[in-house]
Amino acid sequence: MESIVVHPENAEQLETVTAVLKALKVPFESQSETLPAHVLDSIEKGIKQFESGRSISLQRFKEKHFSKK
């Protein structure tokens, strides 16, 4: 049998979908979409660097890291 992935947009939708699945006796498992703390910290650091003007263009990045010397 195939599986489906559902993306409820709020707590009410999640609760309703869960109730329907339980009522129909459809097995399901919950998965959290929370990122690990170290990933969230890295994202925050990158945002702060960008906001402070510490960024380069994609073209400059390619030249710096992928150019053949």
pLDDT digits (tens, 9 = 90+) for 8-21: 999 999 999 999 99
**pLDDT given at position 50:** 95
Determine, yes or no, domain membership for 26. yes
Determine, yes or no, domain membership for 15. yes
Determine, yes or no, domain membership for 48. yes
CA dihedral 41, 5, 32, 37 (to 10 degrees): -10
The domain total for the chain is 1
Determine, yes or no, domain membership for 45. yes
C-alpha span between 32 and 61 (Å, rounded): 34
Query: Which residues span the domain enclosing 32?
Result: 11-66
Determine, yes or no, domain membership for 3. no
Determine, yes or no, domain membership for 6. no
State if pTM tops 0.75.
no
Determine, yes or no, domain membership for 2. no
Task: Tell me the residue type at 31.
Answer: Q
